[in-house]
Structure 1
Amino acid sequence: MKVIKRNGLVQEFDIEKIKLTLERVSDEVNEPFTKSDIDNLTRAIQKAVLARGKEYIHSFEIHTIVVDELKSAGFIHIAQAYDDYQRKC
């Protein structure tokens, strides 16, 4: 699956990039994930992204999926921080 970035560039979907960003954001809000938390989240995010069944997906769609998965897992503060972080980038 390819990701269409905000600047128009296209690159391969890489769940590791999302994982690193989530770890960074959770550390910044002093709510670090356990290994189990991050594994479960990344698995759920990747499953939701791939379930779209598209060859191309926009980065804003992935952003929405990540925020929704964080909220549904109870990580409200991290979801808000991730949302803020991504809007700044």
Structure 2
Amino acid sequence: MKVIKKSGRIEDFDEKKLGTSILNAALDAKTNLTQGDINNITKEIYTEIKKIRNEKTSSYELFALTITILKNQGFKNLAKEYASYSINS
């Protein structure tokens, strides 16, 4: 899976990088997540994005899907912090 970044650069999807972003947002939101939680969230994001797009996706689509999945898993405050964290980083 390839991700088209805001700059137009294309990178490989990096589950670890996504997990780090979610973890950093969780720390800012003072939300406790285990490594298992992060693994489950990132795996669900990857699975869902593969259903939508087979080869490539945009960082915007990945961002929106991440927020949706965080909300669906009951992490509404984390989703809000993730949105803020991702926009500011």
In the alignment, which residue of structure 2 is the partner of 1:9?
Answer: 9
Please state whether the residue corresponding to 2:11 is helix, strand or coil: strand
- Aligned positions, number: 89
Higher mean displacement: 20-29 or 47-56: 47-56
Match of 1:26 in 2: 26
SS at match of 2:53: coil
- How far apart are the structure 2 equivalents of 1:33 and 1:46? 19
Unaligned runs of 5+ residues in structure 2 are none
The root-mean-square deviation of aligned C-alpha atoms, in Å, is 1.1
1:16-55 alignment runs, 5 A limit = 16-55=16-55
Cα distance, 1:54 vs. partner? 2.7
Which secondary structure state, in structure 1, belongs to the residue aligned with residue 57 of structure 2?
strand
Provide TM-score, normalisation by structure 2.
0.92
Deviation for aligned residue 1:44: 0.7
Task: After superposition, give the CA deviation of every residue in 1:14-57 in whole Å (9 maximum; x if it has no partner).
Answer: 11110011111101111120223212111111111111233211
How many percent of aligned residue pairs carry the same amino acid?
28
The whole-number CA distance in structure 1 between the counterparts of 2:53 and 2:25 is 28
Q: CA deviation at 1:87?
A: 1.4
Q: Is the partner of 1:57 in helix, strand or coil?
A: strand
Equivalent residue number for residue 81 of structure 2: 81
Shift of 1:5: 0.3
